[in-house]
Amino acid sequence: MPQSFEQLQNTLQKLHKTKTLRQIAEEDFGGTINHAVIQRCIEGKQPQKPMIRKMLGLPLIAERTLGRDPKTGRYVSLKRSII
């Protein structure tokens, strides 16, 4: 399985030259991934859900909160980083 998103994207683009998105989802990922997820990955949009990233062989994304807004008391400035 690919280790980075760029590797995954390149692999999916090569597969898409000979197969449909549905065939890639069914044959190469055992039907655990929807063809729409494959399409978004080919377009360059990284999946954010941990379960989907795991199924695609991508590292998880960690979120952490940087602080609270003093006026509203809400947490703000989520920073995402790949684990």
Is 80 exceeded by the pLDDT of residue 8? yes
Residue 52 in tokens? 């989907």
Instruction: Report the C-alpha gap between 60 and 47 in whole angstroms.
Output: 10
Instruction: Spell out the alpha helix ranges (H) of the chain.
Output: 5-16, 21-23, 35-42, 50-56
Average pLDDT of 1-28?
Answer: 91
* pLDDT tens per residue across span 48-70: 888 999 999 998 887 666 677 77
Q: Could you tell me the residue range of the domain that residue 54 belongs to?
A: 5-82
47: amino acid identity, one letter: P
Considering its fold, how many domains does the chain have in total? 1
Residue 74: partners with Cβ closer than 8 Å, 6 or more residues away: 68
Q: Quick one: pLDDT band at residue 23, thresholds 50, 70, 90?
A: very high
